[in-house]
Structures are given as structure tokens and as C-alpha cells.
A and B are shown apart, each in its own frame.
Chain A
Amino acid sequence: MTPYLFRRFWQSLLVLFGISLIVFILLHLSGDPAVLLMPPDATQEDIDNFRKLMGFNDPLFLRWPPWDAMNPPWRLVTDTQYGRFMGGLVRGDFGLSFRHQQPALGLVLERMPATLELTLAAMLVAVSVAIPVGILSAVRRNTSLDHAGMVLALLGQSMPVYWLGIMLILLFAVRLNLLPAFGSGSLSHLILPAITLGAFSMARIARLTRSGMLEVLGQEYVRTARAKGLEERRIVLKHALKNAAIPVITVIGLDLGTLLGGAVITETIFAWPGVGRLAVQAIANRDYPVVQSAVFVLATIFVLINFLVDILYTYVDPRVAYK
């Protein structure tokens, strides 16, 4: 098991390196980051000075010709724009936010608890609805209950999150006046955003649980359990669900990461003070250090969650580690 986990850890590090590259390149996509970062009314002189100040005239990845930069040899890569970016990244320094004049990473981390709260609540809503629906649909296959559950799941998968959010606001906040339309601070503020964000995963997990259960319920060990005269409830919840859970766990893990990234839209609709909303505002304000740290932090959490899911996986299904 350990070599497997070690390999997965090493792979995760490589992925983090890839993420750092993409985050770095983001700023250079337009060709000239200085023009991108300066206000539209900046003069050419301002732009030139800024370019010099930020080191944008330096090579991107490698000093060339190498013999000029070989002393000490690592200057070849460290004294470049990417080298400096990586140096900062290792120290947790993405630079100052242009708008807030505070460390960009600090701003992102400050908003992280709100995003995590929303994501976990959304996943909780999704799982607590989807798994019972999936199980019921499988056990009562081809009944009207099954059809209703799966039609709802299909609708959930086809609905754009932001539209669902707006419709929920229209119904529960504007018409019925039951729940707040935006903001945060109490449990009632969390309900609508959590349902909005969790709807897609809910649909996916329900369909997956249903098909997983259907497959497992047809297996011989289930027939044996039935032949032994075990109670149906016990067969479904203990024997079948445990085996149908493996793909469901993977999807929950993957979706947790996706939800973190997908919270961007939900947070914007409900004015939820999380990382996604901060990042969207930062994009609008050309505050790229904040955008870069938000992308990097969210991607890193995704990698971390996947790594944890892999560890969990080796417990649920030990065969995985030996493949």
C-alpha cells in the first residue's frame, strides 16, 4: 500500500507543479503583463517603468546565454520570472493585491472558510438527498417512484446552476419571503446557496447510486444473503450499499473539488463572501495576484482532496493499491 500512496503523492506534487505553470502563464497570455496590469489610461512611460519594476523584462524560464548567468549555476533558472514566481509561491507570497494593498494569498485564505462552509453544506445537501433517492430508485426499479426520482435527477443535471439560484430567489425570497436572497451569517442564509450549488452533484450521485445498486443487487452474494433469509433492509444497507459505494466515493471526492471551483457562480448570485466572489471581483478589477492565488489555492485543495480520496479508497477497496 505504501508504494502506491508514495506514487500518488509524487504524482500530486507533479500536478501542483503543472498548476503553478498554468497560473504563471495566465498573466503572460496577453503577451505583455505590464499593459494588462496597468490601468487603461496609463502612459507608455508608466507602463515601461512598471515593467522594469516588476522584472517583466527578464527571461521567462531560462537565462540565455547560459554562460552569463552561471554564477552561481542555479541563477540560470532562479533569476527568471518563473523562478521568482516559484520562490514566492513556496513562501506563500503571490504579491500584493493591487486593489486592497494586502498580501493576495492572505485575502484568499481569509475568504476560504466561507467557501468551504458553502461547499460542505452543498455536498451535505447533495449526499443526504441523492443516496436515499438512488437506493429507493434501485430497490423499487421501474415503479413510478423510480421514474420520478430519475426525472428529477435528469432535470437537476440539465439545469444551469445560476438559473436555479435565481428561480429559488424568485420563489423563496421574492414571492414567499421565507429566506434571505443574499448575504451570509446565519443558517437561513446558507440554505438557498447550498441547494443551488449542490443540485448538480445531487443529480449525479443519485443516478450513480441507482446504477451501482442495481448492479450490486443482481450479484450472487446478495442472492445468498436473501437465501439465508436476511432482512431486506439489512441486505440493501449493509451488503449492497457498501459495495456500490466505491464509485460514489470517487464522485463525491471529485465533485467536492468541482464544487469548490463551481462556487464562483453561486457565490456571485447570492453575494456569498467566499473565494469565488473575491476572484470574480478581482478579475473585473484586473487584480491578478488575487486571481492567481485563488486559482492556485482552489486547485491545490482539489489535489489534496483527491489524494485523501485515494487513501480512503485503499481502505474501502484494498485491491486498488495492488493494481
Chain B
Amino acid sequence: MIALDVEQGVAAHAGRQDFRRILRELLRNKAALVGLVVVLTVATSALLASQIAPFNPVAQEITNRLKPPGWIGADGRMRVLGTDHLGRDILSRLIFGARISFVFGLSAVLLAGTLGTLLGLIAGYEGGRIDDLCMRLTDTMLAMPFILLALAVIAVLGPSLFNIIMVLGVTSWVSYARVVRAEVLTLRTREFVAAAQALGGGGLRIVGRHLLPNVLTPVIVMATLEVARMIILESALSFLGLGVQPPTPTWGGMLADGRAYLSTAWWLATFPGLCIMLSVLGINLLGDWLRDVLDPRLKL
């Protein structure tokens, strides 16, 4: 009992030290710090959207349509980023749009990551025909014209947030499966797996208790970078009209609306694009740093 307590104590201490080391490295790396600040800002706006948005994001004021950034209305309140073609406040819509982008990005990645990790674990551990089948499945998914397939499936099923998350989640597991499989293939030959097998551990136990914890690091690194890709994809679908439907504000949808007013009201398309780019850049910077710290082998 005492030995167990000591062991847990040592593990907790090591965990704290790891955390401190990561924190120290984060503070030293300017790019990662910028990424963290951007991601935290967008995440906070998403969480507190109803508290911080200055206006109702769907309230239309046709008389105030297409007002430029910094315009002050008859009510004496400034529209910091201007208004859109229906007189809605762009800043408020961007703040609420962050909510959709983040909910979507995180959920799709969670779904794809879980699916991919499971398939990768099974393929890598079982080997043989099951592995072959899983690999051909990943090749098939990789070959599909992703956006077109997603568009077609969403057109068939209907464009709701749930359907879009399902479609992008179910079609994006490939990279996780490949990385996890490759990891498992090398881990499978290690002594601790052989020891677990010799002690009579079943397949499920070995996969769940011994292999899974060891493949989580690359999965977390990949998942971080994939959130960025998912945000771009969701906005692309919204841009093509098959994302979350109006009047719900989405960054891609706002961009698509702004296209028609490019020559007269540049701010409509510019600000949502900047938001997408900054969020994705922030996540990429953070993800790159996380990869360098946790798993340098994945570095491109």
C-alpha cells in the first residue's frame, strides 16, 4: 500500500515537473505564445459571445445597411467593423461565428480522432487481413475528392450542424488511423507488450492499457492541427452554401455574403476571412510548437 502511495506520489511529481517544463518552453517560444493568445481570445469570445457581443447578431436594421467600419449610428453606438447588407453588426456576427467554428472544429476532430485511433489500433495490433482491409479503406478515403464528397453527402442529408460534423468527422479519420497504425506497428515489438502478452493479457487489455496511452501524444498533436483544418473546411462549406444555414452567423457564410459587395463594401468579406486566418494561424502555431515539444518525429 505504502509502495503504491510512493509510486503515485512520484508519478504526480513527475507530471508536475513535465507541466512546468512545457510551461517554461511555452513562455520562451514567442510564436507559440502568440498562437496561445489568439486561440484563447477566440475561444473566450466563443464562450462569452452573448455577454461581449455589442449587438444582436441576427437583428436586421435595413436603414443602416453597408455602413463602413467605425460608423456611429443614430443611437450613438459605434459599429466597430461596420454593418452588412442587412444592417447587422459585423463584429457581433464574428463573435457569434467563433462559437460555430469552435464547436464544429472540436466536435469534428473528436469524432474523427476517435474513429481513426480505434481503426489504427485495430489495424496495427491485429495485422494481416484486417490491417490490409483498413489500409485499403484509408487509401480509398484519401483518394476521394474530399470537399466534393462532403458537399454531395450534405446535399443528400441536409445541411444541419449535426450532419456537417458527422460528415466531416466520418471522412477525416484517415490521417489519425495511419499515424496510430504506424506507431502500433513499432510498439508491438517492444518488450512491455511482449511482457503483457506473457502475463496473459488479452488483446483488448493490451490495446487499451498499453498501446493506447503510448499513441495518444501524436494523436493530440495531430488533433490540434486538425481543428484548424476543420475550421477552414466548415467555412468552405458555408461559403458554398451547404454549411450551417442562415441566419445563424458563420464566418464562411459571412464571407460568401460579402462576395457580392466586393467593389462597394470591402469590409463584408475581409473581416470574416481575417478571423478564419488568424484563428487557423493561432492553432497552427500552437500545434507546431506542441509537436516540437511532445513529438519531434512528426515534424515536416
Contacts and interface: CB of A to CB of B under 8 A. Distances in A.
B109 interface: no
A149 interface: no
A174 B262 contact: yes
Given A29-B153, A158-B277, A162-B236, A170 B145 contact: no
11 contacts: A18-B137, A18-B139, A30-B156, A30-B157, A261-B144, A264-B240, A276-B148, A279-B152, A280-B240, A283-B152, A288-B152
A15 B140 contact: yes
A77 interface: no
Q: How big is chain A's contact interface, by range? A: 35 or more
Interface string B157-185: 10000000000000000000000000000
B140 A174 contact: no
B87 interface: no
Interface of A: 11, 14-15, 18-19, 22, 26-27, 29-30, 36, 154-155, 157-163, 166-167, 169-170, 174, 204, 207-208, 211, 257-258, 260-262, 264-265, 268-269, 276, 279-280, 283-284, 286, 288, 291, 294-295, 298-299, 302-303, 306
A298 B148 CA distance: 10
Given A162-B236, A174-B263, A303-B143, A264 B151 contact: yes
A295 B152 contact: yes
B147 A264 contact: yes
B144 A299 contact: yes
A155 B281 contact: yes
Interface of B: 136-137, 139-140, 142-149, 151-153, 155-157, 228, 232, 235-236, 239-242, 252, 255, 258-259, 262-263, 266, 269-270, 272-273, 276-278, 280-281, 284-285, 299-300
A216 B203 CA distance: 41
Interface of A is mostly: helix
Contact of A294 (B137, B148, B236, B262): B148
Contacts of A291: 148, 152
Contacts of B139: 11, 14-15, 18, 303
B140 A22 contact: yes
Given A11-B139, A19-B143, A170-B269, A158 B155 contact: no
